[in-house]
Amino acid sequence: MSDKVLYEQDGQVVVISINRPEKHNCIDGETAHALYAAWTRFRDDKSARVAILTGKGESFSSGADLHATDTLGPADQYDSDFVYNGPGYLGFTRITDIFKPTIAAVNGYCFAGGLEMAAWCDIRIAAENAEFGCLERRWNVPLIDGGTQRIPRIVGWGRGMDLILTGRRIDAKTALDWGLVTEVVESEKLLARAKQLAGIMAAYPQGSLVSDKQAAVRGWGLPLEEALRIECQLGMPHVRSEETRMGLERFQKRK
């Protein structure tokens, strides 16, 4: 793996760090490939239960490296007939089959594609110095790493369109008020808090946790009847599973 992305595992928790601090962790082709490799490694490793995405230095990520756009994406991506079904312009943002929990630990700049990468994660927590925004607006760069779909789903249509269309920056407090992040912590405590949350989730029995995330992801946007059918199909096998039987036995032994 490139040293532009660091993959560190401690027990069942993985930390994936974008390691271009001198460039505010912007993403060039090498970094994108390394991010894709890191996330597929996490997906396929049964010993890894939760992953945290963060950035080294003073920023989470400022998005695509606009000095190296020719290194990003497939060679024929600018063909008007091209249909992109690969891993994502920034490496991993079109992966939709990771059903383990993911956390974005956002420090400093979280702009443009950086915001799209954070939105890809299930949970976002922010340092007090975090800033968010679709700053690519000013350069006529489109959101092509899921931002047009994920951001409005996270914060609602009005606020999503506000971020996408105005290109304005919002601080961590506003991001918390809008529901873009779920917690704001002191900068020096960010990674520790993310690891604490990851440890809580990693300690749970994983069968129903993973199937519940899968049901939520696959049911999102479907008519309720179809979504409930997916929930039932994924959840009911766990009701009589050995893992659930053991969980119920532990509950019944409580005083």
What string of DSSP letters covers 13-55?
EEEEEE--GGGTT-B-HHHHHHHHHHHHHHHH-TT--EEEEEE
pLDDT at 163: 97
Looking at residue 180, the DSSP 8-state letter turns out to be S
Nearest to 87 by CA among 136, 124, 54, 120: 120
Helix (H, G, I), strand (E, B) or coil at 189: helix
- Residue 14's pLDDT is 98
Proportion of the chain above pLDDT 70, given as a percent:
94
Give yes or no for a contact between 1 and 7, defined as CB atoms under 8 angstroms apart: yes
Task: For the chain, report the end-to-end CA distance as a whole number of angstroms.
Answer: 50
Catalytic annotation present for 116: yes
Q: Using CA atoms in the order 239, 240, 242, 247, what is the torsion angle rounded to 10 degrees? A: 40
DSSP letter assigned to residue 107? -
pTM for this one? 0.92
Q: CA 40, CA 95: separation in Å to the nearest integer? A: 9
Express each pLDDT in 153-179 by its tens digit: 999 999 999 999 999 999 999 999 999
Name the burial class of residue 183, with classes exposed (0-12), middle (13-18) and buried (19+) by CB atoms within 10 angstroms of its CB.
Answer: middle
Strand, coil or helix: 151: helix
pLDDT at 180: 98
Q: Which residue has the tokens 């019944």?
A: 252
pLDDT of residue 247: 72
Q: In the chain, which stretches have pLDDT less than 50? A: none
- In DSSP terms, 17 is beta-bridged to 6, 54
Q: How far apart are CA 90 and CA 18, in angstroms?
A: 12
Determine the pLDDT at residue 78: 60
Q: pLDDT for 69-86, tens place per residue?
A: 888 876 656 666 666 556
Residue tagged active-site, from 8, 22, 30, 116: 116
Confidence (pLDDT) at 255: 60
**What does 214-235 look like in DSSP terms, one character per residue?**
HHHHHHTTS-HHHHHHHHHHHH
| Residue among 30, 128, 136, 188 flagged as catalytic | 136
Residue with tokens 């950035």: 55
The pLDDT of residue 13 is 98
What pLDDT, on the 0 to 100 scale, is given for residue 74?
65
Residues β-bridged to residue 132: 110, 170
Residue-level pLDDT at 1: 66
| CB distance 155 to 180 below 8 Å | yes
Catalytic residue at 136?
yes
